[in-house]
Structure 1
Amino acid sequence: MSIKVSVIVPCYNQVEFLNECLISVLNQTYEDWECIIVNDGSTDETEKISLEWEKKDSRFVYLKKENGGLCSARNYGIAHASGKYILPLDSDDKIGSEYLERGIKVLEKDKDVGIVYCKAHLFGTENKDWILPTFDKKHLLCENLIFCSALYRKEDWKKIGGYDENLKYGWEDWEFWINMVYSLDKKVIKLNYKGFYYRIKESSMITFINKDKTKQLETLDYIYFKHKKLYNDSFGHPIISYRKIWKLENKYKILILYIKKLKSSFTAKNILLKQ
């Protein structure tokens, strides 16, 4: 019996990349999927292109809503999804043809696995493999180790309350993975397969937040204080003064988490923010 997976594609004024993204879904070796395209208040031709895809293949589903941001669009699409499994896919990115098939096999085999991701490649203004740090549960508290397009169960999304729509500037997927790994105590598996292609552009949400230190700190404040007990329990003491340290070290373009009287062997230096 085949297990359906729902690919969720939020769209906001990036129609020039949408066809390429949806072709990568259409080319999957795993065929029991639906692709929910969520138009988050776009003013370009997103609707026109999306409706053409609906006519081309009934597995494509078009939804439209008022602009509410990336988290809102993802949550809206997932709420309407009929699949057991979810794969978020931004409208300017692509996936390899075997990604769904390989990922679902892992999730079906082990119920303790909550997140499956893969090797990745950067394309667009750059063209190179994206070398991510090896996943470590404690390291995850200090930087995002998993890109947004990983497979997980819809029921787990529901249990943790979805993506936090208060995170308007980015890092919503990082906070989502923290929730998934710690609140649900789920294992994370990385496939030995290059199946995610992340488009690098001159302007994007991540470049926007990386250039705006105020929004970075606002977002870090929010994530830290939302999970304050978790951070304190994990490191054995409060993490303090990172705002002060940031002002001193911003020339390195990274945030150094200052941990007072560190008792743990884990070092959280130089790993939170990347260019």
Structure 2
Amino acid sequence: MEIKSVSNVTVVIPCFNDGAFINQALQSVLNQTLKPDQIIVVDDGSNTATKTILEAIKHNDVKVVYQSNYGVSVARNVGIDLAKTEYILTLDADDYFNGTFLEKALKVLKRDSNIVVVGCYYNDFIDTKINSKIKKPLGGTITDFLVQNNGIASSLFRKKSWEAVSGYDESMLNGYEDWEFWINILKEGQFMHIIEEPLFKYRTKKNSRDKKAIKFHDYKLREYIFNKHKNVYLENFEGFTKHLLYQNSRLRSDNAKAISTIETKIGNTILAPFKLIKRIFNK
């Protein structure tokens, strides 16, 4: 007799040279108020130090598989393909969830078939110092994702959504693969729900893959996403244009504020000696 799944969730964790952090990520999953059926860690060609740590993991609910360094998209696809559950939760090896995320996210996903992804608010952190400012991705429909990524990579979704779009794009080696994946699974009119609680912690690294993507590959990656989903952009042209105009307006406003601040600082610097002289003579 087959034992019925408890949560029907598999957590997939790609890992590349994150041996120092993987156990914290694992514990955050193992300590969930709703336990996943299985955790699959996919080592993406890590160094010897990380492999040694992964080989030391001994837990009945944790499976570690190894591959050459093919990239995070391949690692996620390999893990999800191995999963036997209806639901998939992705988590990067250097981040972690608060204890109630899975329970709350699964309730949301089960109650509405039009919701295909569930994420949450989050805090970023460096080492052990957590930034108190809460980051608030918007989620939403496809139009909310055409100009920027309004979700987070570590989210809960149905395996059938992944199957319908043939998984993560394995050619996107330089980043934004999660953004493209959300566009892919939202393009039929579905919705990403964001739990308005900071239930996720995102580690900030000096030379992270995300930072490199923004600094060195942003235009090329955006161009690739646009060309791949050109029909989606055309079908949602009005929504896309409105979001683009809003982003442009906000950028101009932020630039104007920055310039004003710089000018004020320069003015204060120039006037400082004269103010000092004035105070001396007024004594």
Band of TM-score, shorter chain: 0.7 to 0.9
How far residue 47 of structure 1 moved from its aligned partner, in angstroms, is 2.7
How far residue 189 of structure 1 moved from its aligned partner, in angstroms, is 1.4
Greater alpha carbon shift after TM alignment, 121-130 vs 85-94? 121-130
CA distance in 2, matches of 1:203, 1:34: 31
CA distance in 2, matches of 1:166, 1:64: 20
Greater alpha carbon shift after TM alignment, 188-197 vs 221-230? 188-197
How far residue 267 of structure 1 moved from its aligned partner, in angstroms, is 2.7
Q: Provide TM-score, normalisation by structure 1.
A: 0.82
Task: Give yes or no for the alignment of 1:154 onto 2:165.
Answer: no
Contact preservation (8 Å) 2:97, 2:201: yes
How far residue 236 of structure 1 moved from its aligned partner, in angstroms, is 4.8
1:207 alignment partner in structure 2? 211
How far residue 82 of structure 1 moved from its aligned partner, in angstroms, is 1.7
Contact preservation (8 Å) 1:85, 1:151: yes
Match 1:33 to one of 31, 37, 51: 37
For 2:220, the aligned partner's letter is: E
Query: RMSD over aligned Cα, in angstroms?
Result: 2.2
CA distance in 2, matches of 1:206, 1:134: 19
CA distance in 2, matches of 1:63, 1:8: 11
Name the SS of the counterpart of 2:187 in structure 1.
helix
Name the SS of the counterpart of 2:133 in structure 1.
strand
Task: Give yes or no for the alignment of 1:69 onto 2:47.
Answer: no
Residues 192, 130 of structure 1: alpha-carbon distance in 2 compared, 3 angstrom cutoff: closer
For 1:169, the aligned partner's letter is: N
Q: Provide TM-score, normalisation by structure 2.
A: 0.80
CA distance in 2, matches of 1:47, 1:234: 45
Q: What pairs with 1:1-275 in structure 2 (closer than 5 Å)?
A: 2-53=6-57, 55=58, 57-124=59-126, 127-137=131-141, 138-183=143-188, 185-212=189-216, 215-236=217-238, 267-270=245-248
Q: Which has the higher helix share?
A: 2
Deviation string 1:221-244 (CA, Å, 9 cap, x unpaired) is 11000011111221159x9xxxxx
How far residue 133 of structure 1 moved from its aligned partner, in angstroms, is 4.4
Q: Specify every segment of 5 or more residues in structure 1 that has no aligned partner in the other structure, as ranges.
A: 240-258
Contact preservation (8 Å) 1:15, 1:44: no
1:245 alignment partner in structure 2? none
How far residue 187 of structure 1 moved from its aligned partner, in angstroms, is 2.0
Contact preservation (8 Å) 2:134, 2:198: no
CA distance in 2, matches of 1:9, 1:86: 11
Moved over 3 A (4+): none
Name the SS of the counterpart of 2:84 in structure 1.
coil
Pairs aligned (count) = 243
Residues 34, 134 of structure 1: alpha-carbon distance in 2 compared, 3 angstrom cutoff: same
Contact preservation (8 Å) 2:176, 2:213: no
Contact preservation (8 Å) 1:9, 1:74: yes
Q: Specify every segment of 5 or more residues in structure 2 that has no aligned partner in the other structure, as ranges.
A: 252-283
For 2:109, the aligned partner's letter is: L
CA distance in 1, matches of 2:137, 2:12: 26
